[in-house]
Structure 1
């Protein structure tokens, strides 16, 4: 099983932006040194706490400082800009990384991002579906393209102005052929979007804030899409993110991982509870869809979604988790605010050097 890294990222209020950007870079550099397979970075325009506004721009600063790890947008919000811009910039980034680019995509979920761009009342899921089709056609096509999108919003052509002998009218293609790996984050139980991912040979990444029972619903949907395309689904293509903290002692793990008032894990899920309540998506935290909202407390969410302990304890919890979901190809470690840099770094180190070998040993029957 591969080990990946994912950060939304979410920082405490009052921290300097320069400081948190530096911290987020250091986390990816550390992941690279520890042999993590890839690093996904999220983006928002209008969230003061999740303050990376463009994941591709941020990742470009890491091309040389993290020279081995694959660099992944997690995600590029496709409703936010014209797909021709995304296609061109992603193609260039793939060349800058030497083919280490993973193209993570989503519609863009934050309403305030949509409002500031004047698309709050638009169907952003439809815009997303339209945009990715245009991007793929650009990468597959040649000038003058003449791409007509479903709504006409994203039509692409260079017919009137191209001068091919002069080199004008071309849109760039990625280094990887026929395209970079495309990954979609899945944030809903029984997601129909996962079926489409299977059909289109995109790969799912199940969100870290979903209960194990809801994560387990994604594989069947992916298989359904693959079968529709006449292809066998490969568990190696499925990534699952989890919120994990590993420490040298159980006491340290419990304190920093959930119990202390200053715990970044507690802060993260307090924020997620508030956001999902406001968005009307509190059901993500329900063990049963008929549960009343009052049953969802921060203590229960931490019990359900934070995996913490010593290396041996975390490995045991991850093995039990995998038995509930079935096989998958990559465990994606969720990166949080570094309230204590030493503990945060140590957790990533223990995850790579002790937890994953224990999980692998269990999988091999050793």
Structure 2
């Protein structure tokens, strides 16, 4: 099992853009220093709490500050771009990374992002854009593509032009990933059907088992072999030397502020709080204590406590291969946050070394309650 990061990033609105970018680069350097495996960087153009318009630019900057850690776009929203241009940018980035690039693909969760790009059909445009990108990566010309939203021509070349010279560094292209959020995620079923890597946002461990079942459904339909070691589960982690220190850093620090001011109100708009904390039976963000989430839902505490809580997630899900931790703006507590990474690298990662999971068939799984075919 490995640990990676998901850099949305959750940016405190009081933090300047350049200051926040420099902080994120420092966090990436700590991740590399202490042996984390990968960093996913999101794409949002209209969210002040999530201000990265181009994960490719972030990754290009971070590549020069690291040697080993892998990077993923998390996720590109192809329907909000010219997909031909995006395909070529990602091919170039794949070469720049020397094969350290992964690509997350999605339709985008925020209507304001779609609106600013004039995207009035996120699902349809996203599907066609991904088709175009994969065609560019996987097929040599000449050919023409005539779509509903985009048309282009891959020309023939002569020996003087020597083209087309761009093709992915990784063959046939960098690993592709899709992420699921809702309890019975159709996105993860689609990911399995397409043979993409799966990621689950662990809003509640109670439905992780259903996420894997959905992914297995899709993989079985297309004959792909699904391996739990490829399954990434994104969650909140904060480790300190004692439980008291970790709880204080979360409840009274950047993670707690982000959830109080941004995440919980956002989940309430989608009626997701009863899913996040079914025990509390409310969709009122003011009635979801951060202390409760840190104690019962998140991997917060000393190394021993983290391992005990992780065991609950593994039992509830049936097992996964990579923990992906969200990052936060601890600019006012840099030593505390660095210690968090140090403990991840020196205490948590070594204890994960023996945890592995095997491939399985859909027939091996019991269908979770609430999941229908």
Is the TM-score greater than 0.5? yes
1:266 to 230, 242, 256: 256
**2:186 is matched with which residue: 171, 185, 192?**
192
Q: Does 1:153 align with 2:146?
A: no
The equivalent of 1:140 in structure 2 is 138
Please tell me whether the aligned partners of residues 242 and 302 of structure 2 are also in contact (alpha carbons under 8 angstroms): yes
Query: 2: CA distance between counterparts of 1:311 and 1:335?
Result: 18
**Contact 1:211/1:304, CA 8 A, preserved across alignment:** no
Q: Which residue of 2 aligns with 1:276?
A: 267
Q: Partner of 2:307 in structure 1?
A: 315
In 2, Cα distance between the equivalents of 1:304 and 1:185?
23
1:287 counterpart = 2:285: no
Contact persistence 1:265–1:306 (CA under 8 A): no
RMSD in angstroms over aligned alpha carbons? Answer: 2.2
1:107, 1:124 within 8 Å by CA — same for their partners in 2?
Answer: yes
Shift of 1:361: 5.1
Structure 2 counterpart SS, 1:75: strand
Task: State the secondary structure of the residue aligned to 2:236.
Answer: strand
Q: Could you tell me whether the CA contact under 8 Å between 1:158 and 1:169 is conserved in 2? A: no
Separation in structure 2 between the aligned mates of residue 163 and residue 203 of structure 1, nearest angstrom: 35
Output the TM-score relative to the length of structure 1. Answer: 0.90
**Following superposition, which runs of at least 4 residues in structure 1 exceed 6 angstroms of deviation?**
none
Provide structure 1 residue ranges, at least 5 long, that are not aligned to the other structure: none
Question: For the residues of structure 1 that align with 2:275 and 2:173, how far apart are their CA atoms?
Answer: 33
Q: Distance in 1 between matches of 2:318 and 2:127?
A: 29
1:164 aligns with 2:158: yes
Cα distance in 1 for partners of 2:197, 2:113 equals 25
1:30-88 deviation per Cα after TM superposition (whole angstroms, max 9, x unaligned): 11121211110112112222222100111101112111111111111212101111110
Provide the rounded CA distance (Å) in 1 between the counterparts of 2:91 and 2:240: 40
Report the more deviating stretch, 96-105 or 350-359. Answer: 350-359
Give deviations 1:188-246, integer Å, cap 9, x for gaps. Answer: 111111111111110111114x1001222110011111111123311111101110110
Query: How far 1:118 sits from its partner (Å)?
Result: 2.0
Name which of structure 1's ranges 320-329 and 165-174 shifts more when overlaid on structure 2: 165-174
Q: Give the alignment partner of residue 318 of structure 2, picking from 294, 301, 326.
A: 326
Looking at structure 2, the residues matched to 48 and 362 of structure 1 have their Cα atoms a distance apart, in angstroms, of 38
Please show how residues 1-366 of structure 1 align to structure 2 within 5 Å. Answer: 1-119=1-119, 122-149=120-147, 152-159=148-155, 163-167=157-161, 170=164, 172-208=166-202, 210-258=203-251, 260=252, 263-270=253-260, 271-287=262-278, 291-294=281-284, 297-299=288-290, 300-338=292-330, 339-360=332-353
> 1:163 Cα deviation (Å)?
4.2
Write the distance in 2 (CA, Å) between the matches of 1:224 and 1:316: 30
Range with bigger deviation, 45-54 or 243-252? 45-54
Conserved 8 A contact 1:45-1:51? yes
Q: Does the aligned pair in 1 maintain the 2:268–2:283 contact within 8 Å?
A: no
Query: Alignment length, in residue pairs?
Result: 353
Distance 1:308 1:301 in 2: 9
Q: Considering Cα pairs closer than 8 Å and 6+ residues apart, tell me whether 1 or 2 has the greater RCO.
A: 2
Any idea what SS the aligned residue of 1:175 has? coil
Task: Give the distance between the partners of 1:164 and 1:318, measured in 2 at CA.
Answer: 58
What whole-Å deviation, never above 9, does each CA across 1:231-285 have from its counterpart, x for those lacking one? 3311111101110110012211111122x2xx11212222111122334544542
Q: Note the alpha carbon deviations across 1:125-183, whole angstroms, 9 max, x for none.
A: 2222221111111111122332233xx20223144xx5433438737211001111111
Once residues 98 and 356 of structure 1 are traced to their aligned partners in structure 2, the CA distance between those partners, rounded to angstroms, is 25
The alignment partner of 1:241 has SS state of strand
Q: What's the TM-score, normalizing by structure 2?
A: 0.88
Gaps of 5+ in 2: 358-373
